[in-house]
Amino acid sequence: MRQEKRTLSLKTLNKSNVWDLQENDIFRMWEAAEKDADLKDNVRRYLDIIKSAFDIEEVKVDKPEIIKKYEARGFKVGQIRMDENTKSKWGIKKRPILRVTDLTYENIHHISAAKLIEVLDRNFGGGWDSLSQSIKDIIESGFDISTTTLPKDRLRKPGGMYEKKVNDGFEVLEITKGLWIEAIFAKAKPEIEKPRMKYDEPEELPANNEDDDEDLPEEEDHYEDAEDDDDDFDEDKLTEESYRTTFETDPEDLSLEAEGMSDEYEDE
């Protein structure tokens, strides 16, 4: 479940929920945190999180004409207090998601299916299979994806996959491939809260008698030694000879050995 913007603060900010914010939210949150005594000690950590979703530039020349240039580039300019004695002006701009390479595991849950289709449409014309596996994994962590390639006159056939997917809330991107069309369907997956580990109540756990433990001899850890032995195994030392299952032998030697064996059996 996504955290509402109004409940976020610098202390609860992370590299995922920061994508829900806009520039004014950052200035508001920082202003609220100026009263915290530990702000100075955590400035670097807060900035690292904010910079994962925002471009930040310090406005070193505080003049109206300079600020207008920042604003023309899409920056919001505001005053930031780093500590009780230091103030500075920052330009902050949300990083746009324009290309498939802009997609990450942190921001994929913070865009809509329509936005995803827009990004896909802008970046490639070769179809779903033209994407790298790493990009596919990121997309599929946040969206249900399915594809089909059919002749133009069959793609939107009544009762077909196209109609069913659209009726089910999927966004669709159509990529023309000659007389055929590849359709890519995308629908956001619901975010599932990770289950927490459930522990037994303290009273249900057996009491730990520390005095009894002192009388027990200390057991030797043989597992650690075994793991060290495995680490010494060097696969690079394996050669073709290690896998050979036949032996190069002179046929006459084999015949002599066979005669020797037959003599032994005759003596018996």
Decide if pLDDT at 207 tops 70.
Answer: no
Question: Residue with structure tokens 């949300």?
Answer: 94
Rg, C-alpha atoms of the chain: 33
**Which residue would you say has higher pLDDT here, 230 or 184?**
184
Name the DSSP class of 101.
G
For 9-29, the pLDDT digits (tens) are: 898 999 999 999 999 999 999
3-state secondary structure of 83: strand
Decide if pLDDT at 126 tops 70.
Answer: yes
What secondary structure does DSSP assign to 58-78, as a single string? Answer: EE-S--HHHHHHHHHTT-EEE
| Average pLDDT over the chain, rounded to an integer | 78
Decide if pLDDT at 132 tops 50.
Answer: yes
In the prediction, which pLDDT does 233 show?
44
Mean pLDDT of 63-79: 94
Q: Distance (Å, rounded) from C-alpha 79 to C-alpha 34?
A: 12
From residue 49, give the alpha-carbon distance in Å to each of 16, 24, 40, 108: 9, 16, 15, 16
Decide if pLDDT at 219 tops 70.
Answer: no
In the prediction, which pLDDT does 193 show?
54
Decide if pLDDT at 35 tops 50.
Answer: yes
Decide if pLDDT at 54 tops 50.
Answer: yes
39-51 and 23-33 helices, crossing angle to 10°: 170
In the prediction, which pLDDT does 192 show?
66
* Closest among 56, 182, 70 to 131, alpha carbons compared: 182
Q: Where are the alpha helices (DSSP H) in 17-112?
A: 23-33, 39-51, 64-72
User: Which residues, including other chains, have CB under 8 Å from residue 50's CB and lie 6 or more apart?
Assistant: 13, 18, 26, 56, 92
| Residue 1: band (very low, low, confident or very high) from pLDDT cuts 50, 70, 90 | very low
In the prediction, which pLDDT does 81 show?
82
**H/E run at residue 262:** helix 251-267
3-state secondary structure of 129: helix
Mean pLDDT of 239-251: 43
Mean pLDDT is lowest, of 20-34, 46-60, 198-212, for 198-212
Mean pLDDT of 151-157: 93
Mean pLDDT of 235-260: 45
Q: How many CB atoms lie within 10 A of CB 81?
A: 15
